[in-house]
Structure 1
Amino acid sequence: MDHDAVASPKFHVPAGEDFLLLSPTAQAYAYRNVDRMFATRPIRRGKTVLPLQRGREISPQYQTDQGAHGVDAYIDRANVAGLLVIKNEQIVLERYSLGLEENLRWSSMSMIKSLTSTLVGAALQQGAISSLDDAVSRYIPALRGCAYDAVTVRSLLTMSSGVRWSEDYTDRNSDVNRYSKSLGDKVPGGVLALMRNLKAEHPPASHFSYNTGDTYVLGCLVSAATGKNLADFMSETIWSPLGMEFDAFYTLESENGQEIGGSRAGIALRDFGRFGVFLLRNGVIDGKPVLPPDWIESAGRRAFAFDAETNRYGATGYGYSWWIDPDDSMVAVGFAGQSLYVNRKARVVIVTLSCQPQPPYSESYRVDLKAEYHAFKNAVLAEIG
């Protein structure tokens, strides 16, 4: 400690290695201050903003075993910080809570996996990636000779690398928390070193296993294939030409290092919604296809199917880094209740940003958050879908 230091204002933020272990009180602060906790790189907006017209406000009502509830009750019961519903490119519901404001970027958590995976489609459209069946090591020579050597781009997209990985958020020694500690400590090359040392558990493409590290590798691959960092490639292909309202950011593994393709990006509520609109438009901006014509259809198809009870969201499958809702919609899902729901058939986008309590705090929480979410989503669809 410097005993001669002047007492100047300082902002306290939780330790980066504790990011997945925070109390609900700390969650609300940390999730809107990710750029104070981790190294970041901006995703620049362009000169114009895609307008989202405002339609008649909806008032969905839903039922649980505890009675009937409306929008305000849903926000309180599900610890919602931001809620946005878009129908036919018109905003029909927009709410902020828990310190979130219109211009603030909230942590995407793993929702960014789905956005990063969309950049694979853009790189494929541009010819920077030749085929989804290319080996990862073709683009990332540093992974030759390890468990990722024979894994294909498609297997990374569908979480079927076959690499052994522990995604246990409550275990400080799990792979995902060792990854989180490396990010918090801003260790150059630390995450890729972690990935190199993992062992194969299943043949590639044979088994679904949720692995945040897979999407880190996917982000490295897109950067290597395009010769651009992820933030700039996202800005050039989607963020700027589509007309996002605010700059966003990717978190980095270290200062000026590789973007984290699979977690902790910072994005404003309405810009999450605009990304959903981009998908409703089949990945076309100003008449120019950014993605291959069949990309979104393939991304939203079940590469793996499973029981809704086996995952936190209640999905029945997984596509190109998108979870598949029981109603066949695409959903980007993130830790602690983040979601971007895209129903292309009904032309509905629902964005939910939350602070859902995690163990041990969740043990005293008496709301079934999965059931609550789906009950509210279904009520929205019933009113406008």
Structure 2
Amino acid sequence: MTQVNMIELALFTGQAQYGNFCRFKDILPVSCMAASSAPYAFADGPAIALPKTYRFEGEEKSTEAFLADTDTSAVLVLKDGAVVHELYRLTGGRDVQWISWSVAKSFISALVGIALADGAIRSIDEAISDYITVEPGSAYDGVSIRDVLQMSSGARWSEDYSDPGSDVMRLGATMAGVMTLDTFVATMVPESKPGTVCRYNSGETQALGALLVKATGRSLTDYMHEKLVEPLGFEADAYWLVDGTGMEMAFAGLNMTARDFAKLGELYRNSGLLNRRQIVPEDWVKASLRADAPHLQPGQPILADHSFDLGYGYQWWLPDGERGEFSAIGIYNQLVYVDPSRGVTIVKLSANPAYGTTMEEGTNRELENIALLRAIAAAFDTIPTTPLA
């Protein structure tokens, strides 16, 4: 099949995208991570129906209407590690590798934690420029890995999907060969003092991807295959989108099945333990899911030109409240949401056609997605929660 580039996909124009998001491995350059040699299948639990309604901004809303409006292609619900609801529509399916978009950021965070435990990274308080090549005085020169993990490097950035000239759109254009991903990262411009402002910035995650490559001496594809795909028991092949040099699109380029996406949520729900293996260090998981400074608290992170009503950890979004919820979130409404207090992990894969046509909640519906997933999790309040063995 003839390959296309990211620009030709006409993202953020209101066009339907579910016909593309299920087949990126066929239409864009990728590297492959083969399925695990020891696949892990979730157990089946008692089947449940999704709640018919949920509340958002004081209104009772229809679950069915929301799933249809956001071109939802998969909803997978796990309770205590067992599948209790599995829904596929449009071009979704149990064996379909769907594009992660920014859900990939949370996988990169896990790999940084593993590389730290392995000794490939000495400390996240070291400067990321001790590992990656950047221009003197550029955004990542002398900035700590911790600040990059927390989207707090101080780099100048606009994550505005509705503006063709925004930084995130220029980053995406690298996939068409305008420049390499590494060159883009090396030349970013500083704006504010590191560690003071949380500005959502896909370039930060691309810098972390470069960090992993330099620190481990391996490609992201190779390192992730060993450290996550194999021990998590991926049941299907997974793919990274890559640029012209073979560098992985760390900020958004994973292609995986819903069940394999769920394994990261389950891994973090169980403090880095899955299938009786400690895959990510427990202390890394705890640190990753904590907004440990005022500028990281819900309502403080900046997305494009406005504050966002979620907190931020190490490449994880943190909903406000006392339940310890956390979520990986990608454009077009991709989510891996976890409510550990209820033992619930939910994957929602979507192709919301209105996404990015503005930067308003009314089109992007990110907080509304969280509201729906919270309602699904709340339906288990009468069911006892037990840890996964």
Structure-2-length-normalised TM-score: 0.87
Amino acid at match of 2:374: N
Equivalent residue number for residue 159 of structure 2: 167
Identity %: 30
Q: 1:152-172, CA deviations, whole angstroms, 9 ceiling, x for partnerless residues?
A: 110110001101112111222
Q: 1:340-382, CA deviations, whole angstroms, 9 ceiling, x for partnerless residues?
A: 112222221011111113368679x988834642442232122
**Alpha-carbon spacing, 1:336–1:313, altered in 2? closer, same or farther (3 Å):** farther
Root-mean-square deviation over aligned CA pairs: 2.8
**Alpha-carbon spacing, 1:20–1:289, altered in 2? closer, same or farther (3 Å):** farther
Equivalent residue number for residue 6 of structure 1: none
Find 1:69's aligned residue among 62, 65, 76: 62
Find 1:349's aligned residue among 345, 348, 358: 345
Q: Does 2:308 match 1:317?
A: no
Equivalent residue number for residue 329 of structure 2: 333
1:22-101 aligned at under 5 Å gives the runs 22-23=12-13, 25-59=15-49, 60-64=51-55, 69-70=62-63, 72-101=64-93
Residues 355, 363 of structure 2: 8 Å contact kept: no
Structure 1 residue 290: deviation in Å?
A: 2.8
Q: How far, CA to CA, are the matches of 1:315 and 1:43 in structure 2? A: 35
Amino acid at match of 1:291: V
Equivalent residue number for residue 230 of structure 2: 240
Q: How far, CA to CA, are the matches of 1:161 and 1:50 in structure 2? A: 37
Q: How far, CA to CA, are the matches of 2:308 and 2:8 in structure 1? A: 26
Q: How far, CA to CA, are the matches of 2:166 and 2:366 in structure 1? A: 24
Structure 1 residue 315: deviation in Å?
A: 4.3
Residues 77, 367 of structure 1: 8 Å contact kept: no
**Alpha-carbon spacing, 1:62–1:136, altered in 2? closer, same or farther (3 Å):** same
Q: How far, CA to CA, are the matches of 2:349 and 2:7 in structure 1? A: 21
Q: Does 2:305 match 1:297?
A: no
Q: 1:12-51, CA deviations, whole angstroms, 9 ceiling, x for partnerless residues?
A: 85x4125573455541112112223432111222222212
Equivalent residue number for residue 121 of structure 2: 129
Structure 1 residue 144: deviation in Å?
A: 4.7
**Alpha-carbon spacing, 1:291–1:368, altered in 2? closer, same or farther (3 Å):** closer
Larger Rg: 1
1:184-203 aligned at under 5 Å gives the runs 185-186=176-177, 190-203=180-193
Residues 104, 253 of structure 2: 8 Å contact kept: yes
Amino acid at match of 2:337: Y
Amino acid at match of 2:311: G
Worse-superposed segment, 309-318 or 274-283:
309-318
Q: Does 2:220 match 1:224?
A: no
**Alpha-carbon spacing, 1:317–1:291, altered in 2? closer, same or farther (3 Å):** same
Q: Does 2:241 match 1:251?
A: yes
Residues 299, 307 of structure 2: 8 Å contact kept: no
Q: How far, CA to CA, are the matches of 2:317 and 2:54 in structure 1? A: 25
Residues 110, 262 of structure 1: 8 Å contact kept: yes
**Alpha-carbon spacing, 1:323–1:18, altered in 2? closer, same or farther (3 Å):** farther
How many residues are treated as equivalent by the alignment?
371
Amino acid at match of 1:49: P
Amino acid at match of 2:116: L
Residues 315, 323 of structure 1: 8 Å contact kept: no
Q: 1:235-254, CA deviations, whole angstroms, 9 ceiling, x for partnerless residues?
A: 10111122111111111122
Equivalent residue number for residue 7 of structure 1: none
Q: How far, CA to CA, are the matches of 2:61 and 2:310 in structure 1? A: 27
Residues 338, 346 of structure 2: 8 Å contact kept: yes
| Structure 1 segments of 4+ aligned residues over 6 angstroms from their partners | 365-368
Structure 2 unaligned regions, length at least 5: 382-389
3-state DSSP class of the match of 2:286? helix
Structure 1 residue 176: deviation in Å?
A: 1.1
Find 2:100's aligned residue among 103, 108, 117: 108
Equivalent residue number for residue 4 of structure 1: none
Find 1:379's aligned residue among 340, 356, 375: 375
Q: 1:118-140, CA deviations, whole angstroms, 9 ceiling, x for partnerless residues?
A: 10000011111110101111111
**Alpha-carbon spacing, 1:234–1:27, altered in 2? closer, same or farther (3 Å):** same
Structure 1 unaligned regions, length at least 5: 1-9
Q: How far, CA to CA, are the matches of 2:307 and 2:54 in structure 1? A: 19
3-state DSSP class of the match of 1:81? strand
Equivalent residue number for residue 176 of structure 1: 168
Residues 209, 250 of structure 2: 8 Å contact kept: yes
Q: 1:283-319, CA deviations, whole angstroms, 9 ceiling, x for partnerless residues?
A: 1356543323311111010140132897699642000
**Alpha-carbon spacing, 1:131–1:361, altered in 2? closer, same or farther (3 Å):** closer
Structure-1-length-normalised TM-score: 0.87
